[in-house]
A = this chain, B = another copy of it.
């Protein structure tokens, strides 16, 4: 009556079907497919042939349950609209793909409550490791992560207490280096444009490092503009316009990222403000768009792809918790 085979759910091909087709035990098929344990060459060929003919696709859900281990790596980033994070993902992919791991990606929109939620639901898949952004998390996120027994790498920032592995650089120091760069060139009336600190702790730390160096030289940021949660050319352009309207006496502006900075640079081009003689501009991140602008942007190149790659590699390798500090570098352009 029933034209289906005697399978339960759908007509899915299982290990058992392959086993029956080849006439070997399920364990043998499993060993061949995972290339683990011993089996003869002939067996291997027969199994592969049957797998191909039947169109068998191993069910990793069952595999993971039986072996209590998945090949999933959870990656949590605040946004996809800042190229830094896609770069981080690319770096991680370079380390993970060759060893057969897959990435489950979640975006938090710079909200640590949201981060807690997504980490909790990722944890339900028992990932092999977590790559998260920054060191700022809710207490519950920390404890979930610690209790889970899953290895964690916190990326990008080394200024603070990590949970396990930390790979990045000092955001404070990056800000400090930028301040020194401007001071060395004689700028003294310096503005700052960046995202609202409430949602980007790394930008805040850079600003703190920046301000501290200025303070040591006896000066403080002359003007500050904080931008809502976007990182766009438009926002940078508008912010610089507002800032100059308030105070046209500035000699330099430090932007918290290159998107903003390029927007600022565009504003100067459009208004005929001479850069850097009338106003110097400095960015952060070393984006392509700034480096190849008509007037190359002075910025600070961050090793974000390497951070992703090294973070992923080290977290998979195991080893003791540690902090890995990677170098960044000032790119001298023509805007300072």
Question: CB of A104 within 8 A of chain B?
Answer: yes
Mark each residue of chain A from 173 to 208: 1 if its CB lies under 8 Å from any CB of chain B, else 0. Answer: 000000000000000000000000000000000000
- A64 to B126, alpha carbons, bound, how many Å? 13
B81 near A90: Cβ-Cβ < 8 Å:
yes
A104 near B104: Cβ-Cβ < 8 Å:
yes
Closest Cβ of chain B to A306, distance in Å, is 16
Question: CB of A172 within 8 A of chain B?
Answer: no
B64 near A61: Cβ-Cβ < 8 Å:
yes
Question: CB of A103 within 8 A of chain B?
Answer: yes
A234 near B292: Cβ-Cβ < 8 Å:
yes
Residues in B neighbouring A87, C-beta threshold 8 A:
80-81
Which of B89, B233, B294 contacts A270, CB < 8 Å? B294
Which of B62, B102, B294 contacts A269, CB < 8 Å? B294
A103 near B105: Cβ-Cβ < 8 Å:
yes
A65 near B68: Cβ-Cβ < 8 Å:
no
Residues in B neighbouring A148, C-beta threshold 8 A:
57
B57 near A149: Cβ-Cβ < 8 Å:
no
B90 near A80: Cβ-Cβ < 8 Å:
yes
A61 near B125: Cβ-Cβ < 8 Å:
yes
**Besides A81-B87, A102-B106, A103-B105, 4 other A-B contacts (C-beta < 8 A):** A60-B124, A65-B65, A104-B105, A233-B291
Interface residues of A (CB under 8 A from B): 9-10, 12, 55, 57-65, 68, 70, 72, 80-81, 83, 86-87, 89-90, 93, 100, 102-107, 118, 120-126, 143-144, 147-149, 232-234, 237, 259, 262-263, 266, 269-270, 288-289, 291-294
